Structure 1
Amino acid sequence: MAGGWSRDGDVQQQIDDSVRDELERARHALPRGESARHCDECDEPIPEARRQAVPGVRLCIDCQAERDKHRGPTAGHNRRGSKDSQLR
């Protein structure tokens, strides 16, 4: 059920678009290329298993965990444009 002047299914389409956009953002954030043998941050060796599991990895697990801790959530898009969605 749509509200106002929107068509039926528009809300689900907005949800699907938001999920698709977030997946695309996450895919672009993945490392690419040849994995480093030593961490770019602390110069500790990166284990072979990690280099094979994450192609293009540049950081050891500890440094990656620290970087991920400081990365905040993305703002996303306000697809609805309604007052309620703008108040979040």
Structure 2
Amino acid sequence: MVCPFDRAQALEQRQRDQAIAAQLAQVRPIGPSRTHCLDCEHPIPEKRRALGGKVRCTPCESLFEQGQRR
């Protein structure tokens, strides 16, 4: 008989692997980042720009991802 804890651990590991694979499969922006936000024109922090392909500041990107715009 299989231990229920082992089954739960195996299920959790499968779900974690699927979540990681889904994140890695997402298209990532490439190219240079803008220096100022596309929506509000505030400067984009250097650490965020270093990720590449950033066009919005963090607050505006959050609103954009939620389907809202400023």
Both proteins in one fold, TM over 0.5:
yes
Q: Percent identical across equivalent pairs?
A: 22
Shift of the 27–48 alpha-carbon distance from structure 1 to 2, 3 Å rule, reads same
Partner of 2:60: 63
The answer for unaligned runs of 5 or more in structure 2 is: none
CA distance in 1 between partners of 2:44 and 2:30 (Å): 15
Partner of 1:36: 33
The answer for unaligned runs of 5 or more in structure 1 is: 3-7, 72-88
TM-fit CA distance, 1:47 = 3.3
CA distance in 2 between partners of 1:50 and 1:11 (Å): 38
TM-score (norm 2): 0.56
Aligned-residue RMSD, C-alpha: 2.9
Partner of 2:24: 27
